Chains A and B, each alone.
Chain A
Amino acid sequence: MAPRLRIQFAGWVALLLSPFALAELPVITMSSVMPPGGKIGTEVAVTISGADLEEANALLFSHPGITAKATAEKKFAVTIAPDVPAGRYDVRIVGKSGVSNPRTFVVGDLPETVENAPNDKPEAAIEVAVGSVFNGFVKPASSEYLKFNAKQSQRIFLDCSAREIDSKLSPVVTVLDAGGRELAANRRDGFVDFTAPADGTFLVRVNDLTYSGGAEAYFYRLALTTAPHVDFIFPPAAVAGTKAKFTIFGRALPGGAPANVTAADGKPLEKLDVEIDVPATPQPRVEGASAPASASVDGFSYRLPSPQGAANPVFISLASAPVIAEVEPNNKAAEAQKIAAPCEVAGQFFPAGDVDAFTFEGKKGDVFWIEVFSQRLGLPTNPFLLVQREGGASQEVYAADANVGGPRFNTATNDPAARLEVKEDGVYRVQVRDLFGNTRSDPRRVYRLSIHKEAPDFRLAALAEIPPKNNDDRAAIARAAFLHGGETTSVRVVAFRRDGFAGDIELSGDALPAGVTCAPVKIAAGKNEVLLLLTAAEGAARWAGPIRIVGKAKVGETEIVRDARPAVVSWNVPDFNNEPVPARLAQEFDLAVSGVENAPISVEPAEDKVWEAAAGAKLDIPLKITRRGGYDEVLKLKAFDAPAIEGLKEFDVDGKTPTATASIDLAAVKIPPGNYTIHFRAQTKGKFRDKETPITVISAPIRISVK
């Protein structure tokens, strides 16, 4: 057995250190923080793991109430202030090589324990108290065992967090009796609603779905709790800045009444009416809706308080109008519920095969967008939308499959949206159903149907990403933005255009540290993304912290301003064709400036000005090349980020010359008139910190104007 295990670990190490991850200047990365959470008002000893951890002596939390002090190499004492609300926060490591990608750090109200001994056999099960959280990890080709005591008829919720705290684990949680008989299990979302059949000790088995494992990637938190559990909230949306009424459906709800609804696991649900203050502005990274596609949704998360501790979070989205509820029966066209557009309707794809039909009067000239929000609320649904004029043609909408974020940040969603231009007065029928819900009844499958007047708008997401080296480069890297002195790095900004918005979106950086600049760029009409460049001056001081990336656009006479939602790749993926890239929204967009090391090569325009030329003329841009040792190969510079500029051939800059001229013959390379921020890139190799390190050199942004 032992040799096989070694091979598995060797494979894991090889993956961590495989060349694709080293193909740029080192940037600190974080694999795990153990434990990945702690109790409010306590101090927690944590151990971190990752790569490029030189001088990794600070942790950066997304809540100021959580602070850390280094106690030893990779070890910190984390203090969670008593006023930090329960929830998921981001933690990053700061070191010589910048600031890392974030990991989730959960702040809760239950006592916590950490795995401290091997527990891969039932005999070695670690005892966990009901009303506590266990933090552990799963080894490869292995199952982990815990045990707890319960009285007959005692109801306990086992809630295993893994994916939602950035773990690679797909948890399978099984409760067994002392004789090893399986009493309850969950393979999908880690939640088991368990009632003890007798007094006794019960085993909990935790394993990965495919028996993968490893301490640095397959960590989990298992709560054994009697606190309430929320299955879903209805309606799943409300108008921002209001006090709104909701009904919570769940289990062990304080003061809850029977809901006469059976959950997918066969357990009866309770319901509880609550009033919630809906925030005026959306939260940046929202628990329950942090998938890339959810970047286009505004909302906040809510936890029901209780004496046993706060319940699990639910996501509530922000609606464009007061939300009305669907009224059954409305499955058939003849039973369609009458509504008045524009409006927001909340409904439920329940029971299996449920269809909801609505009708409204359309006036000639009205332009509506009819959009379903469900999968983006974090639900496993595939809403289907059918829009018909009574007696007229129909419009079928399956899903907004468009993936504006590409394979490294897949934003495709199952939620459909349709534009309805009312050509004549009449009754219009909207029918929604869940294409995934034919055979299964799951009351959690709620949706929000938004029928609103066309109001072009946009949302943005930003992630630190070095552009791919070539067409065969299918790697995705978990990293944060990091600048050495004199270096330019890139941030990919992705636009979610709403209601057909087609205009330019101007982007700029905000709250930048001293010495860091950001040339304004725009996501041009018809495009969905651009690279935003951040440049550190040589000698810029060491710094790590959040910055903002802001987009502005004109819709008619109105200027709309939107902060880009921070996003990250959670784990390195060598080839996105072989496995999906785990990516999510983050709470902050963090940047680090080295302060001690400079970029090996800087390429910048000789002057900071707008370089102008007439269409058809020749545009010569003198460049300044600064080499700071270790990298003296010929640079093959290629130009990017203006229309038709790909026609410009890459040109060589030899290893010694400190100047070069980028010469653009606008007669051959037909860049249309306009203002652009272009840059040059080159792949080169050399030695950094005495180690062979290939890098992508990105030039400082160059503003050009074609007249």
Chain B
Amino acid sequence: MAMSNDRPSEVYFLATCLTDLLYPRAGLAGMELIRRAGVRVIYPKRQSCCGQPAYNSGYRDEALKVARHQLSCFPRNIPVVVPSGSCAGMVSHHWPELFAGEPDEAEAVNMAGRTFELTQFLVDQLDLQLEDLGEPTEIVVHTSCSSRNELGIEERIESLLAQLSNVTVREQARKAECCGFGGTFSIKQPDISGAMVQDKCDALEQTGATRVVSQDCGCLMNIGGALEKQGRTLQPQHIAEFLLERTNVSN
């Protein structure tokens, strides 16, 4: 774990297009958590998307062009924090492959090396200390597949939640199983994806928790959308919002 004198004094925030457009409050909460820890947070205005949707659909030229634009928005050699495991994984793991042999490969590899998923950054770089100010509550965590299988950082969200004294984390059955989102997979194979999210919703609800917390807006859009469609009471929330809500004195 990084010592406090290794703390960066400023970071870029890579919002992700999904957070920017659909879940801005989750993004804002993430930025606030970092700022509250005394780190300057910069939001590059021209940023858009990491290129993942096209990359995962096989359209690598299109993915490269969008990723190249994104790369140009984060030029300085400071950490890039992403409130999503899959987008962080795209930059840190797949950009080096996507940019391989391109003139800007070195820049892409450099950015890949300084890109962190939000909970990973809060724990590993900031050693964030939290004090729970909220009422007792029971939640269930859905870690995204990218945070587990690609980044291997699934314990970070758990360790942040473990600091909250009034929060009980319930264990879901088959916690390592995908929720069925998979980006364009949910459009191309809607029925398989639908069956997967159904099983996931069942497993989450069976825990008896009132809230499902995750670090990926994609998973939350999928799970939340299915829960709402079925009229279930379980509420989806991004980890950043949940952490901020429970630890902000002004709340």
Q: Do A and B come from one complex?
A: no
Question: Which residues on A are within 8 Å of B, measured CB to CB?
Answer: none
